[in-house]
Amino acid sequence: MDLDPMLLPPPIRGMMYTQMALPNLVPLDRPQQPYVDMIEQGGLHCPMDGVAFTFSRELTDFVLRNHELFSSAVDLPLGNIRPLIPLNVDPPKHSLYRKILDPLFAPKRMDALEDDIAARANRFIDNFVDRGECNFTDEFAELFPSAVFLGLMGLPWDELDTLMELRNGILHPERINPAAEDDVMARFGVMGETGQRVYEYFNSQLDARESSLTDDILSHFITAEVDGERMSREEILDLCYLFLIAGLDTVSDSLTCMFAYLATHPEQRQFIVDDPDSIPTAVEEMLRWESPVPYGIPRVATRDVELPNGTVIAEGTAVSISFGAANVDPKEFPDGFDVRFDREVNRHIAFGGGVHRCLGSHLARRELRVAIAEFHRRIPTYQLKPGHEQLESPTGLRHFQNLMLSW
């Protein structure tokens, strides 16, 4: 079923353009040179009324820093019935949420999870280490972040299928109903039904924690307070909903980008095998180069705004920002096409910037570092499986499906 984009609200129009038309201009499998081309053409792309994209670091930073001019309080059609917290909330309320949440995701707390994260990674590696090959996407990248979430949320391992099903229903509805691939209404149907299940699922988990608090993150959501204020049950549910969307595919997709890179750059792979201490800077550099979350959620201009390049963006326009382009902008990274695992200063914005900068960045880093360390400890030499050199990169975030590795 075809939908006329001009009948849709600008943020949804922008999201549809990002999914359907933009990949022709900036292909997701190799976006870096096209990003620079967009920057050299002015760094701003306005494909239709009410929709704009920033590509240069300067314009993207401007949007990120001026949250009062570009509101994130937009309705995203992801099966949710209320705004996602804290992504679709503007300051000052947003700052209150972050004050409550930031300490729960601080680096120290994430350090404490490291052994548990490593044990979960090894459980998947055990399944294929002796086979000499794996479908890295399906057998590791897709499952591992959900397994880590089970630990974080105090859920047993056998809830993995449920979590994956809920995630798929929101982010990959075509896996639940193939008709959702091309039919927008079928897509929204699966998302709506799954959304209802997501609220029910977390509601019952929260009921259980209310009667017996533990040390897991759900219990902390219930008890955390700032200035004597706690989050309401609805607020916690809206937060959990966002976690399902923001915290799983982002890590899965990053892993497929990073392992595709390492499998095709043996000298870089050898660099981290020889010196595992380089993994943290290598992860930062691959986050910069790959930028698995290529675009931010659309922000809406709260009034007519003049950008630093003199262009006026009309009130109501949905403005999307390209983190990926900003990360190879020659003004910020004069040697941006050199992927250097020992890069010391790396001001990339793969985790966003401004007030909505990723809440889970420390957890994500831990997951990526541990996954890379454990995999290379046990499987130091590997390549794309012969016959599978052609990488498949469908729309969505940047990722590679069916990444076949052999050793």
The reply on whether position 170 binds ligand HEM by CB under 6 A is no
Instruction: Tell me how far, at minimum, the Cβ of 182 lies from ligand HEM, in Å.
Output: 27
3-state helix, strand, coil in the chain (%, to 5): 55, 10, 35
Q: Is 212 helix (H, G, I), strand (E, B) or coil?
A: coil
Instruction: Tell me how far, at minimum, the Cβ of 257 lies from ligand HEM, in Å.
Output: 9
| Cβ-based nearer residue to ligand HEM, 374 or 385 | 374
Instruction: Tell me how far, at minimum, the Cβ of 254 lies from ligand HEM, in Å.
Output: 4
Q: What is the DSSP letter of 58?
A: H
The reply on whether position 358 binds ligand HEM by CB under 6 A is yes
From the list 166-174, 223-231, 250-258, 381-389, the region that binds ligand HEM by CB under 6 A is 250-258
Alpha helices, H only, 265-389: 266-274, 279-290, 323-326, 361-378
| Cβ-based nearer residue to ligand HEM, 168 or 250 | 250
From the list 120-128, 206-214, 358-366, 372-380, the region that binds ligand HEM by CB under 6 A is 358-366
Alpha helices, H only, 184-232: 184-211, 217-223
The dihedral through the CA atoms of 276, 389, 172, 319 has a sign that is positive
Residue 352 and residue 296: Cα distance in Å, rounded? Answer: 7
| Cβ-based nearer residue to ligand HEM, 45 or 356 | 356
Q: Is 11 helix (H, G, I), strand (E, B) or coil?
A: helix
Judge contact between 237 and 199, C-beta under 8 A. yes
The reply on whether position 286 binds ligand HEM by CB under 6 A is no
Residue 189 and residue 198: Cα distance in Å, rounded? Answer: 14
129 backbone dihedrals φ, ψ, rounded to 5°: -55, -40
Residue with token string 């326009």? 317
The reply on whether position 273 binds ligand HEM by CB under 6 A is no
| Cβ-based nearer residue to ligand HEM, 142 or 385 | 142
Compute how many other C-beta atoms are within 10 angstroms of the C-beta atom of residue 6: 10
Q: Which of 12, 36, 38, 87 binds ligand HEM (CB under 6 A)?
A: 87
Compute how many other C-beta atoms are within 10 angstroms of the C-beta atom of residue 282: 27
From the list 106-114, 116-124, 261-269, 291-299, the region that binds ligand HEM by CB under 6 A is 291-299
Beta-carbon contacts of 168 under 8 Å, excluding residues fewer than 6 positions away, are: 175, 176, 194
Residue 80 and residue 95: Cα distance in Å, rounded? Answer: 22
| Cβ-based nearer residue to ligand HEM, 129 or 222 | 222
Tokens representing 210 are 């209310």
| Cβ-based nearer residue to ligand HEM, 305 or 318 | 318
The reply on whether position 360 binds ligand HEM by CB under 6 A is yes
197 CB-contact burial (10 Å; exposed 0-12 / middle 13-18 / buried 19+): middle
| Cβ-based nearer residue to ligand HEM, 168 or 254 | 254
Of 327-356, binders to ligand HEM (CB under 6 A) are 350-352, 356
Instruction: Tell me how far, at minimum, the Cβ of 205 lies from ligand HEM, in Å.
Output: 16
From the list 28-36, 123-131, 196-204, 244-252, the region that binds ligand HEM by CB under 6 A is 244-252
Q: Which of 5, 10, 296, 336 binds ligand HEM (CB under 6 A)?
A: 296
Q: What is the DSSP letter of 329?
A: -
Instruction: Tell me how far, at minimum, the Cβ of 246 lies from ligand HEM, in Å.
Output: 4
Q: Which residues would be at the binding site for ligand HEM (CB under 6 A)?
A: 86-87, 98, 242-243, 246-247, 250-251, 254, 292-293, 296-297, 323, 350-352, 356, 358-360, 363-364
